[in-house]
Amino acid sequence: MNLSQTKVYGLDKFQSIIDDPNRERGIITVSNHESVLDDPFLWGVLPLKTLFSIHKMRWVLGAADICYTSIFKSYFFVFGQTIPTIRGAGIYQPGVDFAIDKVNKGGWIHIYPEAKVIQENKMIRFKWGVGRILMDMDHEPLVVPIWHKGMHLAKPLYGTKLVHLNKPITLVFGDPVEYSDILAEWREGKLSKDQTRIKLTERLYKAIEDLQNQYDDVD
């Protein structure tokens, strides 16, 4: 990715969260999913001290039927801290349990709640897995929304297999999302598990959508 063509907003705030020595909460980032190269290309804006830190760098949930189909790919994604998930296996599976454990220990995981690449300018409904993760945490993590555009130009889903590195990319790190009120209603018995997952995913969807509305036309 040509960083001279990349516009980044909010990175300093996000980096301060990662680097905070007094941080006691884990981190979950959620974003739209424009390209198979979103991860790891978008993280190229992070400083090297984060990129090469096993403890600071993100873990990401990835589809096993895409990421773990050969020995080479398996090694690549294992060292890239990619957690295999089984599509169609539901929200209760070992990969999701592993992600919860990482965040409970103060780590950072990234989730693409759409669970597939969408190259239109409109996100599809988020899967409930992210809601289940938030509900099953020992402590409420910081949830940071991220919105980006342009990766669909760098690597179209169909057609050429070439990567276009000179395309304009916009990447926005938002403020942490407040969601404790939803969990409080659930714990008080005012919401069922399904209702809670729906409300959580809807709030995260709106947080990313708000970033898109704010930055989509920024030059």
pLDDT at 219: 64
Q: What is the pLDDT confidence band of residue 90, given thresholds at 50, 70 and 90?
A: confident
- Answer yes or no: is pLDDT of 141 > 60: yes
Cβ distance 180 to 117 under 8 Å? Answer: no
- Answer yes or no: is pLDDT of 1 > 90: no
Domains of the chain are 3-216 (3.40.1130.10)
Tell me how far apart the alpha carbons of residues 15 and 96 are, in angstroms, rounded to a whole number. Answer: 25
- Answer yes or no: is pLDDT of 48 > 60: yes
Q: Which of 30-39, 82-91, 111-120 has the lowest mean pLDDT?
A: 82-91
pLDDT at 4: 53
pLDDT, mean of residues 40-49: 94
- The CA angle 135-199-81, to the nearest 5 degrees, is 50
Across the strands, what pairs with 28?
109, 143
Is the preceding peptide bond at 40 cis, omega within 30 degrees of 0?
Answer: yes
pLDDT at 89: 86
Q: What is the pLDDT confidence band of residue 184, given thresholds at 50, 70 and 90?
A: very high
What is the chain's length? 219
CA-based radius of gyration for the chain: 17
- Answer yes or no: is pLDDT of 3 > 70: no
pLDDT at 121: 86
Tell me how far apart the alpha carbons of residues 199 and 96 are, in angstroms, rounded to a whole number. Answer: 19
